[in-house]
């Protein structure tokens, strides 16, 4: 049975929501767990879940329902961690100083084979640094990158890098393209992914030196990468390509803008529905449709982002993740383990 290690102490809602989501995912997706963190707190969470269950809106932003999980039927291992790396700490220094932190021990669990993959909702920098030093890079990969899946009208699009590397070289972006294609094919099921470079215009000469040089590299092997050229921000959701490569700075800005815009849009629509009597009636009629739309764009549905380029499976979840998002992050980790996406990347590289 695939075993997923979960940093139970990472995230804004740790440890209860993290533990709740982990056991929910274990029950639904048939995996074993290794919960890493302060043992007394984890045991208390498990006892509460066993006796009372927990509430979740199941990613629909509606009325919460009680989720019951039989803890005794699950294969759960607890690994005590006496330390926690906080969000504001410098990742490199923190993992060296706090060797008994939950994220470091969770990575060690994967490195030693105790678990097959891990889920972390704490500091992204700490998760990446721990994975880089604890698991090691795939030979031929200069830097690991975060593969982020975004919904569109037809099929999901992968943005890589989503925030792991602010300063990149054209060769690194070429490697990101290979990793993104492999992820798109093996995990998302897109047989021949099309690759594009995020840029400020469609023409080959547009953008900064990094974008232009990356364009030239991919154009030289156009058939291998199924390269379709530059992609503007407005085209991300139009399915013009399946994999969009960029440096982590631009990628993270895109993600935060998308997240903020979608949140604002739903708040504005909700406000209009409450503005007058007619709006309230229309709002009541539109409620089930709005819930379905919200479910399609909600980050919780995707669970977390896979860190590609390391010798193991690391899924980085949103810091605000609650149980539903963690449950889906467990699914992402399981799928990455079973499809052996990083092994396939190593073979291609």
Give tens-digit pLDDT for 160-174.
989 888 899 999 999
Beta partners for residue 78, in sequence order: 35
Q: In what side-by-side order are the strands of the sheet with 145-150?
A: 76-80, 32-37, 3-7, 117-120, 313-317, 304-308, 145-150, 157-160, 243-245, 195-198, 227-231
Mean pLDDT by runs of 10 across the 349 residues of the chain is 95 94 96 97 96 85 83 96 90 90 96 96 90 92 91 87 90 95 88 94 90 95 93 89 94 88 82 84 79 70 87 92 94 91 83
Question: How many CA atoms are closer than 13 Å to the CA of 267, on its beta-carbon side?
Answer: 6
Helix, strand, coil shares, percent, the chain, to 5: 50, 20, 35
**Considering the entire predicted model, what is its pTM?**
0.87
Backbone φ and ψ of 6, nearest 5°: -130, 125
Strand partners, 120: 316
Please give the biggest Cα pair distance in the chain: 63
């Amino acid at each position: 049975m695939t075993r997923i290690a979960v940093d139970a102490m990472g995230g804004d809602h740790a440890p209860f929501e993290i533990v709740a989501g982990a056991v929910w995912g274990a029950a639904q997706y048939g995996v074993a767990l290794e919960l890493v963190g302060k043992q007394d707190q984890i045991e208390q969470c498990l006892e509460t879940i066993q006796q009372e269950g927990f509430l979740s809106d199941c990613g629909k932003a509606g009325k919460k329902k009680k989720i019951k999980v039989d803890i005794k039927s699950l294969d759960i291992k607890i690994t005590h961690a006496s330390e926690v790396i906080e969000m504001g700490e410098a990742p490199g220094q923190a993992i060296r100083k706090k060797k008994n932190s939950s994220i470091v021990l969770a990575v060690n669990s994967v490195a030693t084979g105790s678990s097959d993959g891990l889920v972390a909702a704490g500091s992204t920098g700490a998760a990446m640094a721990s994975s880089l030093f604890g698991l090691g890079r795939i030979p031929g990969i200069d830097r690991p990158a975060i593969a982020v899946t975004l919904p569109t009208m037809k099929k999901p699009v992968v943005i890589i890098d989503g925030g792991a590397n602010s300063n990149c070289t054209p060769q690194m972006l070429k490697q990101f393209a290979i990793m993104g294609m492999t992820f798109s094919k093996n995990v998302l099921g897109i047989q021949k992914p099309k690759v594009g470079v995020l840029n400020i215009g469609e023409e080959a000469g547009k953008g900064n030196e990094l974008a232009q040089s990356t364009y030239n590299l991919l154009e030289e092997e156009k058939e291998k990468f199924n390269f379709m050229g530059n992609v503007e921000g407005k085209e991300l959701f139009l399915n013009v390509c399946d994999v969009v490569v960029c440096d982590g700075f631009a990628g993270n800005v895109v993600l935060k803008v998308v997240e903020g815009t979608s949140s604002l849009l739903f708040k504005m629509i909700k406000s209009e529905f409450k503005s007058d009597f007619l709006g309230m009636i229309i709002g009541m009629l539109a409620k089930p449709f709005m819930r379905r739309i919200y479910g399609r764009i909600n980050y919780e549905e995707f669970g977390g982002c896979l860190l590609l380029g390391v010798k193991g499976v690391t899924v980085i979840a949103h810091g605000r993740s609650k149980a539903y998002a963690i449950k889906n992050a467990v699914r992402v980790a399981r799928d990455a383990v079973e499809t052996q996406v990083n092994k396939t990347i190593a073979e291609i590289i």
